[in-house]
Structure 1
Amino acid sequence: MKKRKIKINDIIFVVFIALLLIPQTRTPIQVALNKLKVAVWSPSISDTEDQEQVVPFEYAVQELNGIPKRIAIGQGKVTFLSYWATWCPPCIAELPGIQELYADYGDNVNFVLVTQEETEKVQRFITKKGYDLPVYIPQMQAPELLQSNSLPTNYIIDAKGAIIIKETGAADWNSAKVRTLLDELLLN
Structure 2
Amino acid sequence: MKFKLNKKSISNVIFILAIALILYPPSREWFMRQVAFSPSIDTETTEKIDTYNWQLNGLNTTSINFKELEDKVVFVNFWATWCPPCRAEMPMIQELYNDYKDKVAFVFVTNENWETVEEFYLKNEYNLPSYNSVSAPPSKFTETNSIPATYLIDKEGKILISKTGAADWNSTKVRNLLDQLILK
TM over 0.5: yes
Partner of 2:111: 116
Unaligned runs of 5+ in 1: none
TM normalised by structure 2 equals 0.87
Residue 79 and residue 107 in structure 1: after superposition, are their counterparts in 2 closer, same or farther (change >3 A)?
Answer: same
SS state of the match for residue 72, structure 1? helix
Shift of 1:15: 4.5
**CA distance, structure 2, for counterparts of residue 161 and residue 174 of structure 1:** 22
TM-score (norm 1): 0.86
Give 1:134's match in structure 2, choosing from 125, 129, 141: 129
Q: Deviations over 1:78-109 (max 9, x none)?
A: 00000111111111111111111111111111
Cα distance change, pair 175–17 in 1 and its aligned pair in 2 (3 A): closer
| Count of residues in correspondence between the two structures | 178
In structure 1, the residue matched to 2:96 is 101
Match of residue 163 from structure 1: 159
| Contact 1:58/1:70 (8 A) holds in 2 | yes
Establish whether residue 30 from structure 1 lines up as the match of residue 28 from structure 2.
yes
CA distance in 1, matches of 2:124, 2:22: 23
Tell me the SS of whatever aligns to 2:33: helix
Residues in 2 aligned to 1:66 and 1:91: alpha-carbon distance in whole angstroms: 20
Give me the whole-angstrom Cα distance separating, in 1, the residues matched to 2:47 and 2:135. 21
Distance 1:128 1:107, change over 3 A: same
Alpha carbons of structure 1 residues 141 and 16: separation in structure 2 relative to 1, 3 Å: same
1:7 alignment partner in structure 2: 9
Question: Contact 2:92/2:168 (CA < 8 Å) preserved in 1?
Answer: yes
Structure 1 pair 43–5 and aligned structure 2 pair: CA distance change class (3 A): closer
- Residue 58 of structure 1: CA displacement? 3.4
Give 1:63-74 correspondences, 5 Å limit: 63-65=58-60, 68-72=63-67
Retained in 2: the 8 A contact 1:74–1:158? Answer: no
**5+ long unaligned stretches in structure 2:** 1-5
Identity of aligned pairs, percent?
44
SS at match of 2:90: helix
Matched AA of 2:65: R
Query: Aligned residue for 2:38?
Result: 42
Distance 1:19-1:90 versus aligned 2 partners, 3 A rule: closer
Write the distance in 2 (CA, Å) between the matches of 1:110 and 1:15: 41
Q: Which amino acid aligns with 1:55?
A: D
